[in-house]
Amino acid sequence: MKKLLSLLFILTVSAALAACGSGEEKSDSTSGDTEKLIMGTSADYKPFEYVDTANSDEIIGYDIDLANLLADELGYEIEIKDMEFSGLISALKTGQVDFVLSAMTPTPERQKNVDFSDVYYTAKDMIISTKKNETKSEEDLDGKTVGVQLGSIQQDAAEELSKSIDLKVETRDRIPELIQDLQNGRFDAIIIENTVANGYLNKSEDLKGSTMNVNEEEAGSAVALPKDSELTAEFNEALKKLKENGELDKLAEKWFDGEQ
């Protein structure tokens, strides 16, 4: 009887220990690190993504805040990679980044290579010139040299415009380079997004801007993702929720002074 009781005691303790071990193992398997997503962006596009060098070397802006909201909503951790805008699609296709959030428009050409979320913001293009050589319309660009960002929809717009008027198009990698070459007289005008242009217009009385006619359906910004990525549906659901609960409006108010 004593041996039997001892055996029962051992079996009971063993079962209890096994149960505890099973519970710890399950806990470990479900409490792993939060999945990290690498986000590609081009941090030269204030107020969407840029570095306020006067205060820090941190990338800030509308798209950065939006990325953090999406990450919180979906339970991801975000790591940001800054690169040239023209290389973002390639970085996405080759797996260097998991998604691109950089005020990118889902053009038909880009859609051949990557997928896009729903549009989260819509802006217009603007012609920027100096007061000395003010350009008020697309027709005024006839015979002029125009600067645009490499790989941007503004490059597409300028090249399309050059088919109907005598227009020379030159590209630069970064927006500040365009502004500098405009002010140095290398360009007669540049074409950039109006939300970005406003920041430069507010800082310099020498710069003048004129909004171009554009199809708003072709001017929206969306998140770029790999072809057939499951993240696309997740991002769309999160964007829908952020729109419905007013978070996207709050971001616009914070970064664009409420101008949509």
Instruction: Please give the distance of CA 241 from its chain centroid, rounded to a whole number.
Output: 18
**pLDDT confidence of residue 153:** 86
Give 173-221 pLDDT, tens digit per residue.
999 999 999 999 999 999 998 888 988 998 999 999 999 876 555 678 9
**CB proximity list for 188: less than 8 A, separation 6 or greater:** 129, 133, 135, 141, 144, 145, 146
Handedness of CA 248, 250, 256, 260 (dihedral sign): positive
Give 60-74 pLDDT, tens digit per residue.
999 999 999 999 999
User: What is the reported pTM?
Assistant: 0.70
**pLDDT confidence of residue 215:** 59
Residues 135 and 140: their CA atoms lie apart, in Å, by 6
Instruction: Give the Cβ contact number of residue 187 at 10 Å.
Output: 25
CATH 3.40.190.10 occupies which residues in the chain? 36-122+220-256, 125-217
10-residue mean pLDDT profile of the chain (260 residues): values are: 40 42 34 82 95 92 97 96 96 97 94 96 91 91 96 91 95 95 96 90 93 69 96 97 94 71
Cα angle, residue 63 at apex, residues 211 and 222 outer, rounded to 5°: 70
Q: Given 3.40.190.10, 3.20.20.80, 3.30.70.260, 3.40.309.10, which CATH number is that of 36-122+220-256?
A: 3.40.190.10
Has domain 125-217 been given CATH number 3.40.190.10? yes
